[in-house]
Chain A
Amino acid sequence: MSTAVDMPRFVRAKQVEALPPPNLARGPIAWIRENLFSGPFNTLLTLVVLYLLYVSVPPMVKFLFIDAVWTGTDRAACRADTGGSESGACWAFIWDKINYFIYGSYTVSERWRVNIFFALLAIGVVWLLWLRAPRRDLGAVYFFWIFPTASYILLTGGNESFSGRFWIGFAILGALVISLFAFVAAVLKASMRPALVIGGGIVAVVGVTLALVDMDFGLAHVPTSLWGGILVTLLVATVGIVVSLPFGIVLALGRRSKLPIVRLASVIFIEFVRGVPLITVLIMANTMLPLFLPGDMTVDRLLRPLIGTALFASAYMAEVVRGGLQAMPKGQYEGAMSLGLNYPQMMSLIILPQALRIVIPGIVNTFIGLFKDTSLVAIVGIFDLVKTIEASRIDPNWAAPTIGMTGYVFAALFYFIFCFGMSRYSLGVERRLAAGQKR
């Protein structure tokens, strides 16, 4: 085709550059017109919202920054009658109390242990949440075993000094567990080795944990009544997460089980917990738990709300995991079965890894809810961040009108940073997963 040679010369070979649009149709002015003032209604709306912003934002900035008191050692700085400023936030108060807000009354000389706990927690969280981190399976072991054990020893001081009777009891129980596994394997005519390895493994893990807890590392004992502030907030959240994930998975599997009684028990538990407010669960743990235990046994005051929040979060987690299980195509189950996998193998190797992956956003959202809910332990008298702020509000050294507001703004900021961060993360994962689905 060489007709091109005969083409008239006046035809352009290249498109002419388009003229710029008229000034009113581009640039910031056009953008503003398009987005803010495109009609009478829209204009009105914009003006109303701008007015609202004008009414609310400048006073807020004034309160938080411009009129705020940044330095000072006692209430004089934040009271008008002593020459201070009363119209702005009293950040000096936060600064003065910051150690109390972080550690509560934790023994001052031992606070480095809390710092290590924070660091260990950060490592565990990053390891698990960063999807491309190396050896995430080890990360799980770390987060669900090494980290809790280490934290327990660090924070309480360990050195539980169990009695000899306790160890004998544990040895008997351990032997029972191993022989139970062996017995089941024998009855099922399955091979003995894996059963013994699993049974022995469980006993060994528990035994090593107990031995570590029992060991004297020379750390001074710090009673839980001294713990407080952000330490307790993060602790409650962490325990909730560490317990609720496995427990929630078990409950979700129970709810999807073919066995009617298992299903019924799971459904009752989940629906019961989801039907009542957390605060009633916490009050129950606080007032009723001691009644249900044998007379000479008491549960630590901090442990009670921990159990309460962990159970509560488990029920919500179970529903999230169930969503993931239901989203698995039936072919996955059938495929696994046709390979001859038994139930535990099918679940742990095929279904759960996929199901949990697609519900990561849901899991993170549950964590956000859990993290916010930790503030409720303040109502049952645990000194978490909210409670330490409440307690500091009535310190006569800092009695000033703006103390309460400042404290709550600080708390709001703390929770916001964590929750907003988690929600961004969950959005990111959602987008990544969606990208995988689109292909």
Chain B
Amino acid sequence: MKKALVSIAFGLTASLFATGASAQATLNSVKQKGFLTCGSNTGLAGFGQPDAQGNWTGLDVDLCRAIAAAIFDDPTKVRFIPLAAKDRFTALQSGEVDVLSRNSTATMSRDTQLGLDFPVINYFDGQGFMVRKKLGVSSAKELNGASICTQQGTTTELNLADYFRANNMKYEVVAFATSDETFKAYDAGRCDAFTTDASGLYAERLRASAPDDHIVLPEIISKEPLGPAVRHGDNNWGDIVRWVHNAMLNAEELGVTKANVEQMKTSTNPEIKRLLGTEGKFGEAIGLTNDWAVRVIKHVGNYGESFEKNVGEGSRLKIKRGQNALWTKGGLQYGIPVR
């Protein structure tokens, strides 16, 4: 009897902490809650990182802020839930987060077997290696016999094994549970090389005790298209994520920036007019207001601005646009037209 009461008590406590989420109408539940829950990295410079006061910054964080801006006209209506690599997909599946914007690689098995959808790719990446300069290594092909630090439970760990096997090289793997531990072990001299997505290498290098002592090797050994993930089955919600990102791309292409978006409303360019909602009812079609893109750009800026601020020249990472330049500049980022 007492035991039953205890279990009821437990159930009640659990329900106190619990938050409801429905698989079908994510947009409605977000509007009802009054904020967006966004699964983010536990701390990756440039992509998703909280400071000591809990203010989040980064490219992935900006995407969540942009979604919140599109819905609420307020980029602060986001709650970030830091997720470890191993917890991220369950958190999304169980409805704990509305969108997972945490530099996650889109793969076929994740798309089809984990019940996820990757509406867009917001950063084209690939796995690389970082080594100490004084080792005198200039190519990943010279890493035969090296000790390599990696994070367990990631695609990185598997790519690593594939690469060394394909090139018939030996290595010693040292796997850690979190990216922090992995990098600390590398920095302490436990490993000769450290491997993760190239963007992550640049971000982590900043945290080394002497960043200039390390170089990133030129080889990229895998394709890592990173993007936000949503639950499979709620297409409208996936559309919103897709179009928020595309609006940011189109804005960059059309020269609409955070600073000039209000003036651009008066533009006569039909593409800009459709993007900013002065022509057509594109916003309403996805359950938002017609000025949804204005809200996004006003609060967060276009893709280029977000990139420069978080990972590009305006940041400490200083990553070149490379593959992530607009298609017009030889990159892969291609905004789907609003029409």
Interface residues of A (CB under 8 A from B): 79, 81, 97, 99-100, 105-108, 160, 202, 206, 210, 213, 223, 225-226, 247, 250, 254, 265, 286-287, 290, 293, 295-301, 303, 307, 379, 381, 390-391, 393-396, 399-401, 404
Contacts and interface: CB of A to CB of B under 8 A. Distances in A.
Chief secondary structure at chain B's binding surface: mixed
Category for how many chain B residues contact A? 35 or more
Given A206-B12, A301-B81, A394 B54 contact: no
A381 B84 contact: yes
A160 B16 contact: yes
B14 interface: yes
Contacts of B94: 290, 293, 295, 298
Interface stretch (B19-27, B58-66, B254-262, B298-306): B19-27
B52 A100 contact: yes
Contacts of A391: 43, 180
Given A250-B3, A391-B43, A298 B96 contact: yes
A226 B54 contact: yes
A248 to B, nearest CB: 11
B22 A296 contact: yes
A396 B207 contact: yes
B14 A303 contact: yes
B184 interface: yes
Contacts of A396: 206-208, 211
Contacts of A296: 20-23, 95
B6 interface: yes
Given A107-B54, A108-B53, A295 B207 contact: no
Interface in B297-323: none
Given A296-B21, A298-B19, A396-B206, 17 more contacts: A79-B209, A97-B52, A105-B50, A108-B53, A210-B12, A225-B79, A226-B54, A295-B95, A297-B14, A298-B18, A299-B17, A299-B18, A379-B177, A381-B82, A381-B178, A394-B183, A396-B207
Contacts of A107: 53-54
B23 A381 contact: no
A396 B52 CA distance: 13
In the complex, which of the residues B16, B82, B211 has the most CB atoms of chain A within 10 Å of its own CB atom? Answer: B16
A88 B85 CA distance: 36
20 contacts: A81-B210, A106-B54, A107-B54, A213-B16, A250-B2, A250-B3, A286-B87, A287-B86, A296-B21, A296-B22, A297-B15, A298-B94, A298-B96, A303-B13, A303-B14, A303-B17, A379-B177, A381-B178, A391-B180, A396-B207
Contact of B54 (A105, A298, A399): A105
A297 B2 contact: no
B194 interface: no
Contacts, number: 99
A401 B17 CA distance: 41
In the complex, which of the residues B17, B81, B96 has the most CB atoms of chain A within 10 Å of its own CB atom? Answer: B17
Contacts of A105: 50, 52-54
B80 interface: yes
B147 interface: no
Contacts of A202: 5
A395 B207 CA distance: 6
A400 B209 contact: yes
B139 to A, nearest CB: 28
Contacts of B5: 202
A44 to B, nearest CB: 39
Contacts of A393: 180, 184
B76 interface: no
Which 3 pairs between the two chains have the least Cβ-Cβ distance? A105-B54, A300-B17, A399-B209
A108 B50 CA distance: 14
Nearest to A289: B14
A393 B43 CA distance: 13
Contact of A225 (B18, B80, B177, B183): B80
B72 to A, nearest CB: 16
In the complex, which of the residues B54, B81, B206, B208 has the most CB atoms of chain A within 10 Å of its own CB atom? Answer: B54
A235 to B, nearest CB: 13
A24 B288 CA distance: 96
B179 to A, nearest CB: 9
A217 B81 CA distance: 25
Contacts of A381: 42, 82, 84, 87, 178
A297 B209 CA distance: 43
A97 B12 CA distance: 37
Contacts of B23: 295-296
Contacts of A307: 10
A4 to B, nearest CB: 77
A28 B18 CA distance: 67
A250 B21 contact: no
B32 to A, nearest CB: 11
A151 to B, nearest CB: 13
A247 B7 CA distance: 10
Nearest to B83: A381
B90 interface: yes
Contacts of B208: 396, 399
Contacts of B20: 296-297
Contacts of B3: 250, 254, 265
Contacts of B183: 394
A293 B20 CA distance: 12
A194 to B, nearest CB: 16
A305 to B, nearest CB: 12
B206 to A, nearest CB: 5
Nearest to A247: B6
Nearest to A75: B209
Given A254-B3, A298-B19, A401-B209, A287 B81 contact: no
Interface string B181-221: 10110000000000000000000001111110000000000
